[in-house]
Amino acid sequence: METHLVYSSVHLCTLRSFSRLPLTSSPLRPHFARAGRGVRLRRRPIMGMAAISPESTLVHDLGVSALASGVALGLLRFFEELAKRGVFEQKLNRKLVHISVGLVFLLFWPFFSPGRYAPFFAAFAPGINIIRMLLLGSGLWKNDAMVKSISRFGDYRELLKGPLYYACTITLATSLLWRTSPIAIALICNLCAGDGVADIVGRRFGNRKLPYNPSKSYAGTISMVLAGFIASIGYMHYFHLFGLMQENWNTILGFFLTSLAAAIVESLPISSDLDDNLTVPLTSFAVGNLVF
């Protein structure tokens, strides 16, 4: 069950005024310190004095969702300008979008409330990109700079494949798995950091090819494992700072096994037929359910 530690300091005064209970009786204060065989309750100072209503919680989540959407769209616009100016080679520009958008969006998760509708407000940001990919990929909306920044060969119809799978994956992970699930972190980090870094490293240092797939390299596969794993560990620690996730060796091992499995599947010859924006998250989800 998702912890209430993120918002407990703000909600505490409201609960006391409604229940008239003493501070140590609040149900949102489960901070216990063990002393021998006994258990004593440890008081923490009140940091906020404003009452938070359900309506203001919804307003808060709407505000964070709007901010996350604005940052994501601004990031896309930034890479559009880079694509227009030819700052990076097209494939590199595409992978930088692939890496950054999902990972930056993940930074906003802890700032949503613990309310039941928060995941759906959060999913609004990547959900916008689903609509954008559908409009651009079907030709109903023309934006050559965006198409160039996120497609392999500059064909707008490509957006109905990999980029659409990417947006759908992050939207579903946000709305269904949410921020206390290590599977959500592993899935997004392997998709964004792992797969993105693998392509960049593989193109530059991938001279030694895999014996079972000459289109993939040892350098790309190893870098995918490391990038996905390191990003997962980083976000585990980040979420732990907000009281949303525990840090332990079992979780770390689970992240490594999930990243390893995703990299192995991505290296198989089936990646030529199935988009890795589909196979990587599906593998991460399946393996994550086994190891976490």
Give residue-wise pLDDT tens across range 68-127: 999 988 998 898 888 888 888 888 988 999 999 999 999 999 999 998 899 999 999 899
Q: What is the pLDDT of residue 13?
A: 38
The one-letter code for the residue type at 41 is L
Which pTM value belongs to this model?
0.78
Asked whether residue 203 carries a pLDDT value surpassing 70, the answer given is: yes
213 membership: H or E segment, kind and range: strand 213-217
Give residue-wise pLDDT tens across range 120-163: 999 998 999 899 899 999 988 888 878 877 877 778 888 899 89
Residues 181/244, Cβ–Cβ less than 8 Å: no
Dihedral sign for Cα 65, 180, 275, 222, please. Answer: positive
Distances (CA, A) of 161 to 131, 241, 268, 273: 13, 36, 19, 12
